[in-house]
């Protein structure tokens, strides 16, 4: 009997995978808490929450129970002209916890589509009002997804190169890394002053794909205040930062000014199923509320607000809002801080940054890049230790499910120290 791994090779094309260099995928047959278990019985610690989606551990029995209940009541129905309890309840509950000012929830399927909807909401808002604001501003090295609109507002990189002729024009401001805060804020203001900008889109506090690059709440606040001053929509892409990752429920909760639009996905269902939402203010919604049907939002997906997936999201919210989950997030953040302190003097480290449950260790290299050769060396090293990590070039990071134990964290920290020692014996 061929193994799953062998059968996979015949028929599957994997995402973000150089298929020639990495022809073999590890076949997972079971998920259990923080562990992914393969067909040979190996147990891998999922240190990156399976691409930043998992909150409470794999195959969580409570989420499974709620999904199973929903499946036998109403698995799916059209969401135009029809509605259902799970979608309404989820919207009500999200609006209670989202940054203030959010009034309506638009459902889609993933992070990229949540961003597409946000862009379309903003552009059509100005169009519906007859105001000529057509351009978007984003941060250099941003990542907002892989559909065309989301790629357009993402930094130009190897990810987007082949499509550059087809991406609409976006103004990019420098990232507000250490020493660049003022330049970044000034660049935003000068663009807002001279161009007709519809919206500013940003990953608040942490740029994930760029290598867990972090900047301060003060800078985020300054960006938002400027957008308010120049009447420009603020789109907060909380696809990665949402649901407690940065120490508060949402990264925007670290500041006073609220965005106009918030994009969520990933942790929304606790990582169990795909769902995206785009939340917006009453003002945005009202610009589409018209007798003139050309002013409605022309967007929707077949599986919009799928009830089974909404049930998973509701179950995940139950778990997320428990005191024990908040305590776990604090415990992880504290452990990360102590670990960072213990290795910060290591000469192979260029930078260590941490916010909430996210920690990133950037290693010194001559040519930092997504395809740096160190990346594969590190990936393999940690897999041998039965830890799933996907370093971003020369940057190792941890983004664990909140159910990870102190012992599991200590094991991972120990393996990282062992790797650092190999680089500088």
Ligand X SMILES: Cc1ncc(COP(=O)(O)O)c(C=O)c1O
Minimum separation from the CB atom of position 144 to ligand X (A): 5
> How near is the Cβ of 111 to ligand X at its closest, in Å?
2
- For 45, the enclosing helix (H) or strand (E) is strand 43-46
Q: Considering the complex, what minimum distance in angstroms separates the CB of residue 353 from ligand X?
A: 16
Q: How far is the CB of 422 from ligand X (least distance, A)?
A: 29
- How far is residue 400's CA from residue 50's CA, in Å, rounded to a whole number? 9
Burial of residue 182 (number of CB atoms within 10 Å: 0-12, 13-18, 19+): exposed
Instruction: Round to whole Å and give the CA distance between 228 and 80.
Output: 33
Q: Closer to ligand X at the Cβ: 143 or 382?
A: 143
Nearest to 398 by CA among 424, 418, 416: 416
CB-based contacts of 82: which residues, under 8 Å, 6+ apart? Answer: none
Cβ contacts of residue 375 below 8 Å, gap of 6+?
A: 391, 392, 393, 394
Which residue, 84 or 356, has its beta carbon nearer to ligand X? 356
Pure H helices in 287-322: 307-320
Polymer length in residues for the chain: 425
Closest Cα partner for 208 from 177, 180, 240? 240
Residues with a catalytic annotation lie at 16, 143, 237, 266
**For binding to ligand X (CB under 6 A), which residues are involved?**
110-112, 115, 143-145, 203, 208-209, 237, 239-240, 265
The answer to whether the CB of 325 falls within 8 A of the CB of 356 is no
Instruction: Report in angstroms how near the CB of residue 9 gets to ligand X at its nearest.
Output: 24
CA 334 – CA 224 distance, rounded (Å): 29
Nearer to ligand X, 110 or 278 (CB): 110
Please give the DSSP secondary-structure letter assigned to residue 296: S
Q: Are 381 and 416 in contact (CB under 8 A)?
A: no
Give the nearer residue to ligand X in terms of CB position, either 245 or 336.
Answer: 245
Task: Indicate the residue whose CB is closest to ligand X.
Answer: 111
Query: Tokens 């789109």 appear where?
Result: 235
Q: Encoding tokens for residue 28?
A: 């997972």
Q: How far is CA 4 from the centre of its chain?
A: 29
Residue 80, burial from CB neighbour count under 10 angstroms (0-12, 13-18, 19+):
exposed
CB of 159 or CB of 288, closer to ligand X? 159
- The owner of tokens 């993402």 is 154
Residue 347 Cβ, how far from ligand X at the closest point, in Å? 31
CA atoms within 13 A on the CB side of 1: 3
Q: How far is the CB of 159 from ligand X (least distance, A)?
A: 11
Nearer to ligand X, 111 or 155 (CB): 111
Question: Between 144 and 336, whose beta carbon lies closer to ligand X?
Answer: 144
């Amino acid at each position: 009997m061929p193994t799953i791994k062998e059968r996979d090779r015949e028929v599957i094309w994997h995402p973000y995978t150089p298929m020639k260099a990495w022809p073999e995928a590890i076949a997972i047959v079971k998920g259990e808490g923080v562990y992914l278990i393969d067909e040979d019985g190996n147990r891998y610690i999922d240190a990156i929450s399976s691409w930043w989606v998992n909150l409470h551990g794999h195959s969580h029995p409570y989420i499974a129970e709620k999904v199973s209940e929903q499946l036998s009541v109403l698995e799916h129905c059209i969401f135009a002209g029809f509605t259902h309890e799970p979608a309404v309840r989820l919207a009500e509950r999200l609006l209670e916890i989202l940054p203030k000012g959010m009034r309506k929830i638009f459902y889609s399927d993933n992070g990229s589509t949540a961003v597409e909807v946000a862009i379309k909401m903003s552009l059509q808002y100005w169009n519906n009002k007859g105001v000529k604001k057509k351009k978007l501003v984003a941060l250099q090295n941003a990542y907002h997804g892989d559909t065309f609109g989301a790629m357009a507002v993402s930094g130009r990189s190897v990810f987007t190169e082949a499509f550059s002729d087809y991406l609409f024009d976006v103004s990019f401001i420098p990232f507000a890394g250490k020493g660049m805060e003022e330049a970044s804020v000034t660049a935003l203001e000068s663009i807002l002053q001279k161009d007709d900008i519809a919206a500013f889109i940003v990953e608040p506090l942490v740029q994930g794909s760029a290598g867990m690059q972090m900047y301060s709440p003060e800078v985020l606040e300054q960006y938002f205040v400027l957008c308010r001053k120049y009447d420009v929509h603020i789109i907060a892409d909380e696809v990665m930062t949402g649901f407690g990752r940065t120490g508060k429920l949402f990264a925007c909760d670290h500041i006073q000014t609220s965005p106009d639009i918030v994009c969520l996905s990933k942790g929304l269902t606790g990582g169990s199923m795909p769902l995206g939402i785009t939340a917006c203010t009453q003002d945005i919604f009202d610009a589409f509320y018209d007798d003139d049907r050309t002013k409605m939002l022309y967007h929707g997906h077949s599986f919009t607000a799928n009830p089974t997936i909404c049930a998973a999201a509701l179950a995940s919210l139950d778990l997320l809002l428990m005191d024990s989950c908040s305590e776990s997030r604090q415990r992880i953040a504290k452990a990360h801080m102590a670990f960072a302190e213990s290795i910060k003097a290591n000469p192979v480290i260029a930078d260590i940054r941490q916010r909430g449950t996210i920690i990133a260790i950037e290693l010194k290299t001559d040519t930092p890049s997504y395809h740096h050769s160190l990346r594969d060396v590190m990936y393999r090293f940690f897999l041998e230790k039965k830890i799933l990590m996907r370093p971003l070039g020369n940057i190792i990071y941890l983004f664990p499910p909140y159910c990870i134990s102190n012992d599991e964290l200590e094991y991972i920290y120990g393996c990282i120290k062992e790797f650092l020692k190999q680089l500088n014996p």
